[in-house]
Amino acid sequence: MDPSNLEKQRQPEEPRFLSFQHSKPGSGLNKYSSTLTREHDFPAAQAMLYAAGVPDEHTLKTFPQVGIASVWWEGNPCNTHLLDLGKEVKRAVLKEDMLAWQYNTVGVSDGITMGGDGMRFSLQTREIIADSIETVTCAQFHDACITIPGCDKNMPGCVMGMARHNRPSIMIYGGSIQPGYSTLLKKPINITTALEAHGAYLFDNLRNPDEPSQTKDEILSDIEKTACPGQGACGGMFTANTMATAIETLGLSLPGSASTPATSPEKMRECQKAAKAIRVCMEKNILPRDCLTKKSFENALVMMMALGGSTNGVLHLLAMAGTADVDLTLDDFQKVSDRIPFIADLAPSGKHLMADLYEIGGIPSVQKMLIAANLLDGSTITVTGLTLAENVASWPSLKQGQEIIRSLDSPIKATGHIEILYGNLAPAGAVAKITGKEGMTFTGKARVFEKEHELDQALNKGEIPRTENLVLVVRYEGPKGGPGMPEQLKASAAIMGAKLTNIALITDGRYSGASHGFIVGHITPEAAVGGPIAIVRDGDVITIDASTHRIDMVDVDEAEVTRRLAEWKAPRRPVTRGVLAKYARLVGDASHGAMTDLF
């Protein structure tokens, strides 16, 4: 698409957000900031800007102002380096004769909070991040925005904020972590190793075959110390890398952003390039919603299916699309999954990490292959001012002989791994992540847990038998019921580590991008609002069939479902004050992305 045609493509719309889209007194690149800086309309504002570091009147009156929003904080390796990336961006922006203002928003570490009450705060940070970026951009009359996220919810939060204010914007992904290495096991490991080792530890199955004398405590301690060697987000095709890949494909990041490791020199060079790219966006008036189209979202889904992305990608892409007023539904995910082969041997279901993919060409090389195969539409516009196809045309093709990305005629699975399920357990939909290694169907007796911690306690005590097929049902963990729809990687990883192959997990909550096995999440309606998952009883037979896209209580007929629902009473809300209570009142259902601004 020629950027000069963007104005013709845009349709007039009723503004959804108080972002002062029509307050454009300036004619240059400073058309928003000049509201404050032209003439003497706002002398107090100008006085404050001089105090903040603007050197002279010429700079104040003519330079555009760029906000640099990092999701920086020190307590998480995904985010600890983002302040330094932001400083590099600021230096580069200043060299482009623009003012640069750094600020940051909150983050929560999914890895640190996993399995505890802190995880309930994670998803709602997506909304806080979007609120922060919209707030600062609009309140301070910034002309453009560069965001720098690192962890799972950071990236969709940044894009949702950018879509709300819809001013020239670029996202720089903080990058993924390098592989860890266990000194005792003498092999590469990552964060999933630590979580799955916990399951093996609990079931007394954690051993080093090469050193039988090592105790399980020694092995687990070594894994804990070596799984995360430094800065960067979790290294597999988990949620952070899924979202970074999707957003690069949407056109809101520079080519290669998703696969460039956090600590590589190339990541710093990307920060420098972003300054020139944001000027291009301002000069050509390329706005976030120009990139966020139905066609570009379908491209993002293609990459998600080809690479085996996280189920959280469903939740976040729905929310990003909803914020940008793009009509994306659960059924769109199924349509793309039905036609796109799963070709990536990446963790959690495979053995390689994003750092390995970077070495053979990275995300642009995969995009180049899929564009050549007519599976990816290369005509979509990006923040470079070029189309997706033009961005990757000069990028190297995937290296010959590599084993990370399969050829399209020899996939791991002929179709995608994301399956959208419906049935008497999920009338409004559910999301399964099935790579084919688990089989396509599962039938077992229900064992019900009212909260995730109940299942964790049962696993800790060794109370989950290996003797019969069980469908473990975890409920009241949805967006409202959790509240916060916590990820349940601790339980799924423990089951994988314990090698409980007779188990399937289903929930109205979420699973981490690092989860694998026979798992179904996002069951809608959730238990807290009286969805059918609320009336499942121990011993009910549940069948999950990915080939027919069904999840049903097969021995509970419609009349019994109706009778049980009539008897159901909503439980007392677990939180009645504070940010989680506010979130529970505002949040929508998972099938629409768990958004808080549906109106």
Judge whether 64-177+233-392 and 418-592 match in fold. Answer: no
Q: CA 130 to CA 110: how far, in whole Å?
A: 18
Tell me yes or no: is domain 418-592 CATH 3.50.30.80. Answer: yes
Q: CA 179 to CA 345: how far, in whole Å?
A: 15
DSSP symbol at 78: T
Please report, for the chain, the start and end positions of each structural domain, with discontinuous segments joined by +: 64-177+233-392, 180-226, 418-592
Q: What is the pLDDT of residue 356?
A: 96
Q: CA 177 to CA 80: how far, in whole Å?
A: 12
Q: What is the pLDDT of residue 461?
A: 87
Q: What is the pLDDT of residue 23?
A: 43
DSSP character string of 541-594: EEEEETTTTEEEETTS-HHHHHHHHHH--PPPPS--SHHHHHHHHH---GGGTS
The model's pTM is 0.94
Topology adopted by domain 64-177+233-392:
Rossmann fold (3.40.50)
CB atoms within 10 A of CB 454: 13
Strands 541-545 and 519-521: unpaired
- Annotated catalytic residue 394: no
Number of H helices, E strands in the chain: 23, 14
The active-site residue out of 512, 515, 547, 591 is 512
Greatest alpha-carbon span in the chain: 79
| Per-block mean pLDDT, blocks of 10 residues, the chain (599 long) | 57 48 62 94 97 97 97 96 98 97 95 90 97 98 98 97 98 97 94 85 88 95 96 95 98 98 98 98 97 98 96 97 97 98 93 96 98 98 98 95 96 95 98 82 96 91 90 97 91 80 93 75 98 98 96 97 96 93 97 87
